[in-house]
Structure 1
Amino acid sequence: MNNLDKTSRLSDFPTSRLLNIYFTAGIPELKNTTTIAQLIQNSGADMMEIGIPYSDPVADGPVIEQAHMRALKNGMTIKKLFEQLAEIKDSVTIPKVLMGYLNPILQFGFEDFCTKCQEVGISGLIIPDLPPFEFERKYGEILKKYNLNFTFLITPETSNERIQYLDSLSSGFLYAVSSSSTTGKDNVQLKNEDYLNRIASLPLKNPLFIGFGIKDQEGFNTVTEKATGGIIGTAFVKILLENDDWKTKAADFIHSIKD
């Protein structure tokens, strides 16, 4: 079974050059989450990350931070997000991963959160501020109970030993950020051949995805020479925030990466 996802039909997918698109739920307007998810699938992306808005998104740069603030102002909550995801459970069949911070998930109730994820067809979670120790001590078993993958992040500063440790804890995929900074930084970090070669040489059990800073087809092609896929967030979210005709521009953007 393909380790990207336990529930979606990935057997028909290519084994490389997978495109994962991130967006923050609840932008540009509260009701747009389902439309954007459909658009991402229909435009040819292979999977998606849906960001849960939070007031202190420490791993995110100014564009995605702005998206979080707008979504919260629009009234997005975890409860509303699950209601929206339920609407597209059967129509959006590419893997859907939720990315969020630990505090609001704990406020919702971690096991209740996992229950709802399973109910609405979520295949995995990314929680950047969940320490591996806590994952091993408590949360990993809950995720396994509800058949949810979990992805850890690595950076250029992560040692080979720790990369393999985080890979052993992860399921679904391993998320390699292209720099130790926040999201949305320049493509220059994508030129770090030593980093890409080092990760690619390791005997990882999970598919490798690289994100943070990919803005165009050139950047996507650079990372997918060494990894299974690339993750695009800031460039896509920027389109949603800044364009009245975001539906057309967002679809064209995804096509420009994959075509």
Structure 2
Amino acid sequence: MNQNNSQASASEMQQKKLNIYFTAGIPNLEDTAEIMKIIQNSGADMMEIGMPYSDPVADGPVIQEAHNLALKNGMTIAKLFSQLKSVKNEIKVPVILMGYINPVLIFGFEKFCEECAHSGVSGLIIPDLPPIEFENNYQSILKKYGLNFTFLVTPETSVERIQYLDSLSSGFLYAVSSSSTTGTEKKEVKNEDYLNRLASLNLKNPVFIGFGIKTKSDFEQLTEKAAGGIIGTAFVKILLENKDWESKGKDFIEGIKN
């Protein structure tokens, strides 16, 4: 009986989805495609690619540093689409673009969505796009190009608003584990009441937990009652700090999944 329960628990753990974030254009401008292949081949279930921006207010120092380096390297949205198209036929896991609304609007929102559709992108996360703006001006364009859109919720988000943002989202709902910037060093990352509340709501979308996941233990704990977890800062740190980031990044992802 205990053995069966243990097997069931292990099987459930294996089914938790791992989403890896990195910032496009680091450590070098042309490394994006190689990093995408590493993420896929190491066992991650999906990936988020950050579009560099000069004022990434929701991000902590590590990802801010990554944004600055990528911009210095010459990364642009047009360059990113070119890189995505170069590996479109090789990447089979979902690819999500994450970034801020201003660069997307400058590029042209519909043109951006059309390029996403041509580049193998399955969805977007734009944290500073207000839901009412999304509903009134952008939702129909995303549907036209078959793109998902994910909203973020936090421990302070009311049940009513969680349900509202879930109704607007498709693909998954991004549950920020704590009210802070990415890469938080706070000890109390796990908020039991919050995670229980999310699990009890019978939401339309699977819930992915993000912010503060750095180890396999973090991943296991935070995804107990969720569909999966998102790791960003810990992976970006590897790209920024290691000359042998290819092997270190591969080992890191495999260590979380296996």
Q: TM-score of the superposition, structure 2-length normalised?
A: 0.94
Partner residue of 1:136?
135
SS at match of 1:188: coil
Structure with greater Cα Rg: 2
Partner residue of 1:116?
115
Contact 1:16 1:227 in 2 (8 A): no
Distance in 1 of aligned mates of 2:61 and 2:208:
22
Partner residue of 2:176?
177
Q: What is the aligned-residue identity percentage? A: 70
The amino acid of 1:114's aligned partner reads C
- Unmatched tracts of structure 1, length 5 or more: 1-13
Partner residue of 1:36?
35
Distance in 1 of aligned mates of 2:184 and 2:80:
28
Deviation at 1:187, TM superposition (A): 6.0
Contact 2:177 2:190 in 1 (8 A): no
Pairing 1:40-119 to 2, within 5 Å after superposition: 40-119=39-118
Distance in 1 of aligned mates of 2:170 and 2:68:
30
Contact 1:187 1:215 in 2 (8 A): no
Query: Cα deviations across residues 85-118 of structure 1 (Å, max 9, x unaligned)?
Result: 0011010110000001000000000000000000
Partner residue of 1:201?
200
Partner residue of 1:4?
none
Distance in 1 of aligned mates of 2:19 and 2:238:
16
Contact 1:190 1:222 in 2 (8 A): no
Query: Cα deviations across residues 32-62 of structure 1 (Å, max 9, x unaligned)?
Result: 0000000000000000000000000011000
Partner residue of 1:216?
215
- The farther-off stretch of 184-193 and 209-218 is 184-193
Contact 1:15 1:228 in 2 (8 A): no
Contact 1:30 1:76 in 2 (8 A): yes
Contact 1:19 1:231 in 2 (8 A): yes
- Relative distance call for 1:15 and 1:215 in structure 2 (3 A) is closer
Deviation at 1:168, TM superposition (A): 0.2
Partner residue of 1:155?
154
RMSD: 1.1
- Unmatched tracts of structure 2, length 5 or more: 1-12
Distance in 2 of aligned mates of 1:205 and 1:143:
18
SS at match of 1:55: coil
Distance in 1 of aligned mates of 2:163 and 2:110:
27
Structure 1 moving runs of 4+ over 6 Å: none
Partner residue of 2:7?
none
Partner residue of 1:6?
none
Distance in 1 of aligned mates of 2:58 and 2:195:
21
Deviation at 1:216, TM superposition (A): 0.4
Distance in 2 of aligned mates of 1:233 and 1:187:
16
- The farther-off stretch of 21-30 and 217-226 is 217-226
SS at match of 1:23: strand
- The farther-off stretch of 15-24 and 148-157 is 15-24
The amino acid of 1:208's aligned partner reads V
Partner residue of 1:166?
165
